[in-house]
Amino acid sequence: MSLSTLQKSINEQLDSCFDEMVEHRRFFHMNPELSFQEEKTAAFIASFYEKLGVPIRTQVGGRGVLAYIEGSEPGPAVALRADFDALPIQDAKDVPYASTVPGVMHACGHDGHTATLLAVAKVLYQNRHKLKGKFIIIHQHAEEYAPGGAEPMIADGCLEEADVIFGTHLWATEPLGTILYRTGAVMAAADRFTISIRGKGGHGAHPHDTKDAVLIGSQIVTALQHIVSRKVNPIQSAVISTGSFVASNPFNVIADQATLIGTARSFDENVRSLLEKEIESVVKGVCDMHAASYDYSYERGYPAVVNHPEETDHLASIAKITEGVEHVIEAEPQMGGEDFAYYLQHVKGTFFFTGAAPEDPECVHPHHHPKFDINEKAMLTAAKVLAGAAISYHHS
């Protein structure tokens, strides 16, 4: 059987799996589980493969699940990955498949990622006698919350046999039928900083007798923006955002303490190190000016997602000839983080985005929004591109 005939046959079989994909996605959506707590989701995934007769490993690096599909002829081992954890967000959608778990929802599409990969794996297994090489199906827990599930799964051997890896993210703000790819850095390193300011409190009527922690913190928040504008090469990208500023005092009391928590994002490791150093330099300078003291911590999260050139070109070429794909676009780098980065530090591969915007513009919301939803037809597009990239890599 020719590769084009095989791909056409697999796409037709994926079409027949669409209703099951939707059923699975909605089940996951109604029954979300937070990072590192995904007992029922992992059990569902394992049960799915057990019923098919696919060899699996469970509790990989924690709650991860691996499935193994052997082709009938020798060839490279292709890994495909999807994540399955949810977020601590209250689902605000008025739909029949809304989350049934208070304060927890799939607000980033991981339910769709998992449903997509289950369908791809099922069809690959049903066609294993026509395929070359090996497929390693990686169902990863805990992507949303650092340190994440990728590193412990890798440490537990999920990539031991892999020659290449492909993964996708359903992207709810891009139109259906769109595939976005990029060689090199495509998602940013995502770090967290915490600044605790210790001043001297006092009465609101006597500021001259105090070291106002709120004033000091406010100056730090403003001064941090000068790092990106004046310390980082303008050809490179970086973001520093303060997301939390807490000083719990009555209205008429000047705070003696304040805590700032924020994130720093970058693509280049040198820029990443610069941000870590310069943030403390700003904090120290402002605190010294006010004779205040501080504690500073900088926690490195996921590194930047850096796609490999040949594998990205391969993915893009397959996407251009895949049924249901209308636009294949070179993506702008995204400042969001992803622990898929760790896989790409160990094996070659690429991570791409699949357009999944709902048909009704009123229902298009950004990721991590309480009304987040996807166009479920995007799962079929993602499945065909992933399967096409995997089987054609074996035949290349």
Q: Is it the case that residue 102 has pLDDT exceeding 60?
A: yes
Q: Are 257 and 247 in contact (CB under 8 A)?
A: yes
Sequence ranges of the domains in the chain: 3-187+304-395, 189-299
Q: For residue 89, what is the enclosing H or E element? A: none
Report the C-alpha gap between 361 and 212 in whole angstroms: 47
- Number of Cβ within 10 Å of residue 334's Cβ equals 18
The bridge status of strand 327-330 relative to strand 178-181 is parallel
pLDDT above 90 coverage of the chain, percent = 98
Determine the average pLDDT of the residues in 151-168: 98
> What's residue 293's pLDDT?
98
- CA dist 263 → 194, 195, 236, 274, 304 (Å): 9, 11, 17, 14, 14
Helices (H), 107-261: 110-126, 150-155, 213-230
Determine the average pLDDT of the residues in 3-21: 96
Report the C-alpha gap between 391 and 396 in whole angstroms: 9
Closest CA to 148 of 89, 85, 103: 85
Give 238's contacts (C-beta < 8 A, 6+ positions apart). 227, 228, 232, 264, 265, 266, 271, 275
DSSP strands (E only) in 292-373: 293-299, 305-307, 327-330, 348-355
> What's residue 396's pLDDT?
57
pLDDT digits (tens, 9 = 90+) for 288-328: 999 999 999 999 999 999 999 999 999 999 999 999 999 99
* Backbone torsions φ then ψ of 263, nearest 5 degrees: -130, 145
Q: Where does the pLDDT of residue 334 fall: very low under 50, low under 70, confident under 90, or very high at 90 and above?
A: very high
- Whole-number average pLDDT of the chain: 97
Q: Is it the case that residue 164 has pLDDT exceeding 60?
A: yes
The bridge status of strand 73-83 relative to strand 164-171 is parallel
pTM: 0.96
The bridge status of strand 189-198 relative to strand 257-266 is antiparallel
Q: Return the active site residues.
A: 85, 143
Report the C-alpha gap between 98 and 104 in whole angstroms: 10
Q: Where does the pLDDT of residue 3 fall: very low under 50, low under 70, confident under 90, or very high at 90 and above?
A: confident
β-bridge partners, 244: 261
The bridge status of strand 132-140 relative to strand 73-83 is parallel
Structure tokens, 167: 């993964």
> What's residue 153's pLDDT?
98
Considering only the C-alpha atoms of the chain, give the largest distance between any 2 of them, rounded to a whole number of Å. 85
β-bridge partners, 253: 203
We find that the CATH architecture of domain 189-299 is 2-Layer Sandwich (3.30)
- Number of Cβ within 10 Å of residue 364's Cβ equals 20
Determine the average pLDDT of the residues in 87-102: 98
Three-state SS sequence of 238-285: EEEEEEEEECCCCCCEECCEEEEEEEEEECCHHHHHHHHHHHHHHHHH
Determine the average pLDDT of the residues in 15-19: 98
The bridge status of strand 293-299 relative to strand 64-70 is unpaired
> What's residue 316's pLDDT?
98
Do the domains at 3-187+304-395 and 189-299 have one common CATH topology?
no
DSSP one-letter string for 332-347: PPBSS--THHHHHHHS
We find that the CATH architecture of domain 3-187+304-395 is 3-Layer(aba) Sandwich (3.40)
Q: Where does the pLDDT of residue 2 fall: very low under 50, low under 70, confident under 90, or very high at 90 and above?
A: confident
Closest CA to 377 of 304, 325, 306, 313: 325
Q: Where does the pLDDT of residue 239 fall: very low under 50, low under 70, confident under 90, or very high at 90 and above?
A: very high
Determine the average pLDDT of the residues in 365-394: 97
> What's residue 395's pLDDT?
64
Closest CA to 392 of 170, 180, 140, 166: 166
Question: Is 60 exposed, middle or buried (CB count within 10 Å of its CB: 0-12, 13-18, 19+)?
Answer: buried
Determine the average pLDDT of the residues in 238-250: 97
What is the three-class DSSP state of 134? strand
- CA dist 213 → 201, 260, 364 (Å): 8, 11, 40
